[in-house]
Chain A
Amino acid sequence: MAEYRALTPKRLLLIASLLAVGVAAPLVLPAYQLQLTELLLFIVFALAWDLVGGQMGYNSFGNVLFVGLGMYGAAIVQVGLFYDVGLYNAARGGGTQFVFDVPQFITGLALGIPAAALISAFAAWLLGSLVLTMRGHYFAICTLGLGIAAGQIAAGIPWIGAGSGMLTPNPPEALGDVALLLYYLALGLAITCALTFAWLLSTRFGLALNAIRDDEDKAEAMGLKTHAAKVTAWVIAAGFLGAAGALYGNVVRFIDPVQTAFAGATIGVWMILMALLGGKGTLAGPIVGAIVFQIMKELFWTYLLGWQRVALGLLIIAVAVFFPAGIVGFIRERGSAKAKEQNQ
């Protein structure tokens, strides 16, 4: 409830200007369009991780599972609507037989993205009933195992391209700037995600998640249906992760089971880093964290080629050890310290 504030004119203005920046950004900075799209998807990743990790206190190391399911789910729908998926992947998606015209491509995206969200949400519901009864170390490592197992399994299924991965449909020339389309879809998703979470956190459900984080046994003893709340939160987060994964797959065009889809040691842990860097358990934190992270990542990729993972690993260690409250948390702490001083 703390997150909810009334829509004052000032806030409306802020939201409107953010929206304007979002709409204009790829036109003003065409060279960074890809990075901007990625950033928007990272924002969704970080927000979704934080709903369960930060707000509810269940630190999942396997949320990448839902990203990967979304990637594959969407790609399979996009292809499968018009061609045989197995043949498509056997031919590595190329050739003259597997061409998508504009209506086909658009239909594929329009159905693929919601399908991806549903698939991931369904998986979260199935798995959540099993793993959300564990806590602490056990939940963390169990989810880590889930994410990696999924990648290994995907790498063994020839129908989806096995270890050599799967290509998303080739966008038709006639469609024009597909990258821009994907950018705006990502923008829409990020805004939907942020607004949905803002609303969720303003309801009793949001309070229930925080109660679970602070003292789950107490919440249970107060009659809250903690298990249902936990599973619901995970399902919602997974739905957004799935949709974001669907877009991400289409942005990168190539889905490698271990390196892209179920990449536990990159995207999987980056989303945690983003949430933590910005401020765990806050709404603004993951967004701020994703922005800072994306900038740092691009700098690392430009100046530290070959050592980016080392740099990001060091960043993870530094944040986990020295800066666990994150940017927003840090600012708030300073704010409340000041307030206390003034009280005295």
Chain B
Amino acid sequence: MTAMLQVTDVTKAFGGVVANDAVSISVPQGAIVGLIGPNGSGKTTLFNAITGAQAIDAGSIRFEGQEISRLLTGEIARAGIIRTYQQPRIYGGLSTRDNMLVSASIRRGSSPSLFRRANAKAIAWADELLDFVGLIEKRDILAGDLSFGQQKLLELAMALSNEPRMLLLDEPTAGINPILIDSVIERLKVANSKFGLTLLVIEHNMPVIMDLAQHIYCLAHGSLLADGTPEAIQNDANVLDAYLGAA
């Protein structure tokens, strides 16, 4: 079986800094895959490459068999890959609920056309997800006035409401109220098992990623250091070195 996302030998340099050096990863359909590595190891750069935010220097990226490394951001998103950002990006001038409504998937049919007012179904769907991330009370507040953690949660809810086939999360629990972290993980697991959402997750919080992911890749200095099950990664001498060396 071929993987849903197949990244092969992707290289990306910024001037002298090689942020990704022939990185290859593969994410099977329906899996939850983790991506870890010390600060500056090139994780976000790889996300940028996959989602088309930056052009890559070399390599190939295939999504469901289709080469996407030359496509534009929007085309990749519409193919079914949605991401969140390390620094949350939301529409600051819109209310929290409007952020949800504009993000909702058109595929789902709840908002068939752009030239329609959001219907009851769409609003219910938005509110359900807002409720899940604990932002339902903030629905009429400008999203720009939310705190960092709240914006992060909103961005996650926006991504979920888009109903992608694959979701790339860049440090989803960073800056989030610790009380909420467990429920966020739970929800992600549900989205994965029930709706078949494939996840690729960057995470610095080791307990979180060990709990969540079935398979983990570790980057260091732009190249792949190790990959394996959470247990294998936890006991990998190279990985420990990289983290201790960086710390």
Contact = CB atoms under 8 A, between A and B. Distances in A.
Interface of A: 1-2, 4, 200, 202-205, 207-208, 210-211, 213-215, 217-227, 229, 281
A208 B114 contact: yes
Q: Which of B94, B111, B113 has the most CB of A within 10 A?
A: B94
B181 interface: no
B89 A223 contact: no
Nearest to A210: B94
Interface of B: 51, 53, 72-74, 77-78, 82-83, 85, 89-95, 98, 101-103, 105-106, 111, 113-118, 144, 158-159, 162
B114 A220 contact: no
Contacts, number: 93
A223 B78 contact: yes
A204 B93 contact: no
A204 B92 contact: no
A223 B73 CA distance: 8
Contacts of B92: 214-215
Given A202-B117, A207-B102, A218-B89, A223 B94 contact: no
Contact of B118 (A1, A2, A223, A229): A1
B103 A203 contact: no
Interface of A is mostly: helix
Contact of B116 (A4, A203, A222): A203
A214 B116 contact: no
A65 to B, nearest CB: 26
B95 to A, nearest CB: 7
Given A215-B89, A218-B89, A207 B77 contact: no
A205 B91 contact: no
A141 B93 CA distance: 25
Contact of B51 (A1, A213, A221): A221
Contacts of B73: 217, 220-221
A2 B51 contact: no
B101 A222 contact: no
